[in-house]
Amino acid sequence: MIGKKATIGVLAGGLVAAAAAATIAFAAPAAAQTSGRAVAADQAADRPAYCDRVEKALDRRQRAIARLEGDASTRGSIAWLNDKAAAAGAAGNSELATLYTDRSALRGQVLGPLKTIVADLTAVQQAHCS
């Protein structure tokens, strides 16, 4: 269940980054056609509407990475799951140890794509939302 949610979250983040990139690709030519018109002093109207969504998505994914990379005292981290697996194995519960080990491996596989999505969202934010 957790693996399915993590995978869906990673895919959704990728879709958000792709949608933001597509929006930027189509918005750039229109923005270039202002032909020297005066712009208001406050540039709030100049900020694209998707910037708020990018910031929220970036914040969620950064918190997920921090949780996954946390130490053994951080509930839900990979190290925490490994410690739980070791404790279950020492207690003689090999099925529970296997479950924790599998969860740890799945979260380790999610971490790489999650970092890629954060890098993409950060690039979009720096290029168009600053």
Its sign, for the CA torsion 28, 34, 36, 41, is negative
Integer-rounded Cα radius of gyration of the chain: 21
Q: pLDDT tens for the chain, 130 residues: list them.
A: 456 666 666 666 666 565 555 555 555 555 555 444 444 445 556 788 899 999 999 999 999 999 999 999 999 999 999 999 999 999 999 999 999 999 999 999 999 999 999 999 999 999 988 7
CA distance 12 to 17: 9
Could you tell me which of 124, 1, 2, 107 has the C-alpha nearest to residue 51?
124
Per-residue confidence (pLDDT) for residue 38, from 0 to 100 = 47
pTM of the model: 0.63
Residue count of the chain, please give it.
130
